[in-house]
Structure 1
Amino acid sequence: LSIHDRPVQPDLDWISRVRVNHQAVLKRAQYIQSLKVSKKQWQAAWLLKAVTCIDLTTLAGDDTPSNVHRLCLKAIQPVRLDLLKNMDMHDKGITTAAVCVYPSRVADAVRSLKAAHSDLPVASVATGFPAGQTPLETRLQEVRLAVRDGAAEIDVVINRTLALSGQWEAMYRELHQFREACGDAHMKTILATGELGTFTNIYKASIVSMMAGSDFIKTSTGKEPVNATYPVAIVMARAIRDYYLSTGYKVLDPIILTWSAGSVWQSLMSDGASIPTSDRTSKMFRGRRGTLSLNGPCSVPPLLRRSTGAVVAGSSVPVVVATPEPAGGHRRLGMLSS
């Protein structure tokens, strides 16, 4: 079922009864971190899969049309062509999942992608990103303007004040208005989990966001003191699973921001009880990166090694691929109680 088929009314009884077992979450996170990471050709396959699930992003105060244009070109060709040819992947259409910018730069991104004959979607942050502390009408108008300029995906931020004070119905009403303002555009709801205080609040915010019509739920803006963590990813993935089993609506798996270790993403994505194989695509899973990093195990050197047999330092590689983002966890296992 699609979330657009009909509205889902807020189930405040469900929300009020939820408690998250903190220690069970931490234990599950510890287990996932102990999983072995894929090596050799399997690692290269995971890295290429990661690239296709990334929203390549620029959210800086000095963004210009030329910066956005360069970002779009990177999104269209994120991996060097010679590397793809060596892996027989040059004709597989390897691109990032989307380009993400501020509302004022949406038209620039749409124009650049159109000129390059690319159908990559443009995503826009909105609703007073990252704090969400502007008046509601201002936030709604920001969504409408981004959609008008061609954004196919809107990244909204929740009102953390409402979540922290337990005003879940009010939070639902705001998000439902954002959903209506998005029209046919996908709505991706950022929870800013580092500012929600408890796993229980994160779970409740996840459920309310899905009830209000979110197509994706996301961990963080990348601007909070604490962004994505293993335990947070587990809580959100569990909320998605519980929501699907309760309503039949499949919301896209949680997006994790600002992770640098490829082993994290591979471990969590390999934990298939939470993320089925059929869902490990850009339509059901995303990560956001502002740059395509050379550092860490999930970077160009492993791809170069698999492609050519060469062993190189990251500082010597001129073109890079992406650092991916993790998600995962299993359902239940004593983590949630009502």
Structure 2
Amino acid sequence: MRIAIYGAGSLGTILGAYLHERGVAVDLISRNKEHIEALQRKGAQIVGKRTATIPVTALLPEDMKGTYDLIFLLTKQLENRRVASFLKPYLKEDGMLCTMQNGIPEPTLMEILGSNRVCGCTIGWGATLTGSGVVELTSDEHTFSFSLGLPVPGREAMLEEISQILSLMGEITIEHNFIGARWSKLLINASFSGTATALGCTFGDVAANRQARRIAQRIMKECIDIAKASSVTLEPVQGKDIAKLFDYTNSLKKWVSFHLIPFAIRKHRQLKPSMLQDIEKGKPCEVDAINGVLSEQGKKLGIPTPINDQVVSIIHRIEAKELQPSMENLKGFIL
């Protein structure tokens, strides 16, 4: 297979480095010229949970040639229509684009590329781009996991091939209830990534601060309620039934779910949200594709999402330079 990772930032660089290390030829592609040049000169420098320098093949988009059997997509969703249109000529007729983005990106990509050329994948680990060619791995290696699924049936054999490739790096789950897996990832991103971005901190900082943890807990509950109303069955995450653990209907279950949160994210406590990384670089973040999706679905179903809505509002104010990502923003929440 001829394989590319398009949008080789923090996660894409780690993925590409691990696949290269395990003998899989893959092109890492990014518009970040300094990052690509550093990868070409020195290889991918991994720090944090692992220290290594791994040679990789890195390209700018304008240097792409020919067509690919498989493209892993890790760009921001804000540009999905433009990116999918750009990639269309580079994807073989029987090729597959595997989106590893957050939120629910498949419908837009399928509209442009065709329903039989798009699959989805959720990632169960995190990383931070700390410099050109340098990526901090913020999750333990034993947490590496991928959940794969097809938005529509028909390409199961290709999905199995993708599974074999990704299994060289971590644990693979092929989701027959892929929309449930998508919503489980959305729950984690909306509650922890959204809260941590608004407060300028890591997942671990959210869990350690009681008020921040309460915000994340409330968003989890809002997401669970919307999933139920949408007839979506949330899939387990790394073997944990998050709906069972964090749904609550009385004060005792609410107390238990609150105290479970630090244990649930302990392996990812150093994770810094990509939304926060974008804000720190002066880039627009994906809040509307993550927390915004939850608020939008809540409005459609008539289910209030007051805490999630506050996170969206605060992050938009941060983007507008009215606020800074800081724990000071806890004062602006009404719980």
What range describes the TM-score normalised by the shorter chain of this pair? under 0.3
TM-score (norm 2): 0.26
Higher strand share: 2
Return the structure number with greater relative CO, CA threshold 8 A, min gap 6: 1
TM-score (norm 1): 0.26
